[in-house]
Amino acid sequence: MPELYLQSSPHIGTPVRTPLLMGHVLIALTPVTVFGVVLYGLPALGVIAVSIAAAAGGEALFRGVTRQENRTRDLSAVVTGLLLALVLPPATPLWMTCLGALFAVTAAKEFFGGLGANVFNPALSGRAFLLMSFPASITRWTMPAGTGAAPGVLEAADALSAASAGETVLSLDAISGATPLGILKMGGTAADLGRQFAASGLAGSASYPSILKTLFIGNHAGTIGESSILLIVAGCFYLLITKVIDWRAPAAMTASAFVLSLILGMDPVIAILGGGLVFGAVFMATDYTTAPLTAAGKIIFGAGAGIITILIRKWGSYPEGVTYGILIMNAVTPFLNRLIQKKYGYVKSPRSSMPLGAVK
């Protein structure tokens, strides 16, 4: 099979061979993947396995039917399947997971011309498709294994009905499986979140430092791979060291989300640690195909994604907004590439550096 290259790396200025790039991404994703399986057990492992198999198989089948070259060995479909699985709840039905993975690799990638031609991030497109089609199933959360709370899954609607109209005293049995951002969206405060963590055995106490520790480690309800900020940051450092990603988009997305949360009266630290923002900033906003080419474009892209994420969290129907924040900025990427163009082959004229009045 001929070598397949993505656009030039922003670090080394040379084309990046796709299997090598995807291999690095898979290595960076391994810690959060293992942590998700340990946290949620066999259901999480099933979602991961089905998503990867459906993405790889769906791409191969599509390209076979359309008589195109099979690109399974470039590992892009495997990465798409894994990324999709990691942004899904562990209780997602397997048939639904398969449907989302097929949508991601066909409708979001192959229909646009395949790898390198797609406009929107395939994994996030798959999640958005599932969230719009099956909102009840994509908002069912599982408590981590080994906690003091009752096992099982919880639907967001059930959790919402548990919140009182007064001081927002949340019922442990009804809310224990909700995500941190879900609790806050229902009217809860950081103190409510701390009490739920402590009562569920997820934190040693209800103090604010204990809350942040739990959020940073990731031992709480959420999607399979987005909860552990510690392991996501470790993966980020690996990708930066290996020069696979650029720091600008993740930094701009995180900074803009922090500042806007502060302006809107939200807890900016919990806004960063409590949801999928860090995961999205590291693994989605840095996608070579759907992110801008230039340094300035990456900063604008990341800042826009962070701002949209917080606006959705504040006034939208869902407690999370990373998916739509990045997808909306994906649509803006072609315009950023035109407005802020990277000049190739430009050499400064020697005449412009000559002293005034000098004769050549």
- pLDDT for 184-205, tens place per residue? 888 888 988 888 888 888 888 8
One domain, residues 256 and 332: yes
Among the ranges given (45-54, 91-100, 117-126, 179-188), the one the predictor scored with the smallest mean pLDDT: 179-188
What pLDDT is attached to residue 163? 40
Q: Is the pLDDT reported for residue 9 higher than 50?
A: no
Tens-place pLDDT, residues 130-154: 999 999 888 888 888 755 444 444 4
Is 285 part of a structural domain of the chain? yes
One domain, residues 69 and 183: no
Helix (H, G, I), strand (E, B) or coil at 67: coil
One domain, residues 173 and 113: no
Is 127 part of a structural domain of the chain? yes
Tens-place pLDDT, residues 232-273: 999 999 999 999 999 999 999 999 999 999 999 999 999 999
One domain, residues 235 and 203: no
One domain, residues 179 and 283: no
One domain, residues 237 and 206: no
One domain, residues 178 and 234: no
**Residue type for position 214:** T
Is 6 part of a structural domain of the chain? no
One domain, residues 137 and 158: no
Q: Roughly how many angstroms between the first and final C-alpha of the chain, as a whole number? A: 55
Instruction: Tell me the β-bridge partners of 155.
Output: 140
Q: Is the pLDDT reported for residue 183 higher than 50?
A: yes
CB-CB contact of 114 with 71 (8 Å): yes
Mean pLDDT of the chain: 84
Burial 40-78 (b: 16+ CB within 10 A, else e): beebbbbbbebbbbbbbbbbeebbeeeeeeebeebbbbb
Helix (H, G, I), strand (E, B) or coil at 288: coil
Is 92 part of a structural domain of the chain? yes
One domain, residues 198 and 252: no
CA distance linking residue 140 with residue 91, whole number of Å = 7
Host domain of residue 276: 247-340
Q: Is the pLDDT reported for residue 360 higher than 50?
A: no
Top-confidence range, 106-115, 327-336, 348-357: 327-336
What pLDDT is attached to residue 3? 43
What pLDDT is attached to residue 160? 40
CA distance linking residue 8 with residue 16, whole number of Å = 6
Burial 183-192 (b: 16+ CB within 10 A, else e): bbbbebebeb
Taking residues 298-312, what's their average pLDDT?
A: 97
Helix (H, G, I), strand (E, B) or coil at 11: coil
Query: For tokens 């969290």, what's the residue?
Result: 313
Q: Is the pLDDT reported for residue 50 higher than 60?
A: yes
Rounded percentage of the chain residues whose pLDDT exceeds 90: 58
Taking residues 196-217, what's their average pLDDT?
A: 90
What pLDDT is attached to residue 17? 64
Is 360 part of a structural domain of the chain? no
One domain, residues 196 and 281: no
Provide the whole-model pTM. 0.85
Number of domains composing the chain: 3
One domain, residues 126 and 32: yes
What pLDDT is attached to residue 148? 47
CA distance linking residue 47 with residue 85, whole number of Å = 6
